[in-house]
Amino acid sequence: MGLMRAMDVSASALTAERTRLEVVSANLANSETTRTAEGGPYRPREVFFVAGPVGEAKAGSDPDRAIEGVREVRVEIPDRPPLLRYQPGHPDADARGYVSYPDINKVAETVNLMEASRSYEANVTVVRAVRAMLASALNILR
Amino acid sequence: MSDILCPGAPAALQKALDIAAYREQVIASNVANIDTPGYRAKEIDFKGELRRAAAGATDESIEPSRPGATLREAETGRLRGDGNTVDIDREMLNLGVTAGFYTASVEMIKKYVAMMRAAITDGRS
């Protein structure tokens, strides 16, 4: 049924926005992390959404596939050089006394965080509206 | 069936529900992709589709359009740096309008069913 597909679409976006929130919080949490398992400072992640058919529509006909959700959430590690701070006493300081910190812009990450949470709310609003429509359709039989 | 109960009405109302549900899907899709780079907002010609459905219900010569046949790119007048054209305010407005329209159509179907019931039971139900 059509309205169920709207739910699938919104659900895909909710998942995507939540992933984005998680990535942003990981970036903020690790903004001072100088040591990681793969060596070197933490490398900030970035999230990209890719539109496409989701749920049942994946195998559907063209009009179904035209209704796109967020098909894929890509988490990429952009190649950004670390920030160097002069801290000779630090255990992770290099030979010249510089420590590599991840290049994380806290303001940009915070804006990202707010954007993700607003978009999440917008999708919740859609889910509520669709749910109300489904409930009213069931009312026909009453 | 007498003409008083206008036989085209349930078909037109059913089509109206289909169109509203399809429009809601398009809106859900636009809202879902508000942060997708390069996504172009889509829309259907809601009023035009409804007019065609209403005409098609009484005049068999008018071919009802398939859902999705008229999906087009919305001209929202917005273009973000990442190529996304979704206007959230517009989508939220349309969301409310469409949901209201859907509920109104459901109410009319309920009234129609009540009328049929009254006719069947000789007005004594």
Tens of pLDDT, residue by residue over A2-27, are 788 899 999 999 999 999 999 999 99
Q: Which 8-state DSSP code applies to residue B66?
A: P
For A85, the enclosing helix (H) or strand (E) is strand A83-86
CB pair distance less than 8 Å for A6 and B28: yes
- Report mean pLDDT in 10-residue bins for chain B, 125 residues: 66 88 93 93 89 74 58 82 91 95 93 88 77
- Answer yes or no: is pLDDT of A98 > 90: yes
- Answer yes or no: is pLDDT of A131 > 80: yes
How far is it, in rounded angstroms, from Cα A16 to Cα A28?
Answer: 18
pTM of the model: 0.86
CB pairs under 8 A between A and B: 119
| ipTM entry | 0.85
Which pLDDT score is estimated for B66? 58
Query: Which of A83, A80, A74 is CA-nearest to residue A44?
Result: A80
CA distances from A98 to A30, A85, A91, A102 (A): 18, 5, 10, 13
> Nearest CB to A63: which of B17, B69, B113?
B69
CB contacts of B14 in chain A (<8 Å) are none
- Answer yes or no: is pLDDT of A132 > 80: yes
CB contacts of B37 in chain A (<8 Å) are 48-49
- Answer yes or no: is pLDDT of A125 > 90: yes
Which pLDDT score is estimated for B122? 84
Structure confidence at residue A113 as a pLDDT band (50, 70, 90): very high
Which pLDDT score is estimated for A58? 75
Q: Which 8-state DSSP code applies to residue A31?
A: T
Q: Which 8-state DSSP code applies to residue A68?
A: -
pLDDT by residue (tens digit) across A45-65? 999 999 999 887 777 777 777
Please indicate whether residue A103 or residue B56 has the higher confidence score (pLDDT): A103
Which pLDDT score is estimated for B58? 65
Residue whose entry in the numeric block shows the structure tokens 């919104």: A10
* A64's tokens: 């179904």
Q: What is the mean pLDDT of residues A74-103?
A: 92
CB contacts of B69 in chain A (<8 Å) are 63
Mutate which of B18, B19, B22, B25 to disrupt the A interface (most A C-beta within 10 Å)?
A: B25
> Nearest CB to A122: which of B31, B37, B38?
B31
How far is it, in rounded angstroms, from Cα B74 to Cα A136?
Answer: 28
Which pLDDT score is estimated for A45? 94
Which pLDDT score is estimated for B65? 56
pLDDT by residue (tens digit) across B31-60? 999 999 999 999 998 888 888 887 776 666
- Is B39 within 8 Å of chain A by CB? yes
> Nearest CB to A129: which of B69, B88, B99?
B99
Q: Is A25 helix (H, G, I), strand (E, B) or coil?
A: helix
Query: Which of A58, A53, A69 is CA-nearest to residue A12?
Result: A69
For chain A, list residues whose CB is within 8 angstroms of any CB belonging to chain B: 1-3, 5-7, 9-10, 12-13, 16-17, 20, 48-51, 62-64, 66-70, 115-116, 119, 122-123, 125-126, 129-130, 132-133, 136-137, 139-140, 142
- Count of alpha carbons within 13 angstroms of residue A85, beta-carbon side: 12
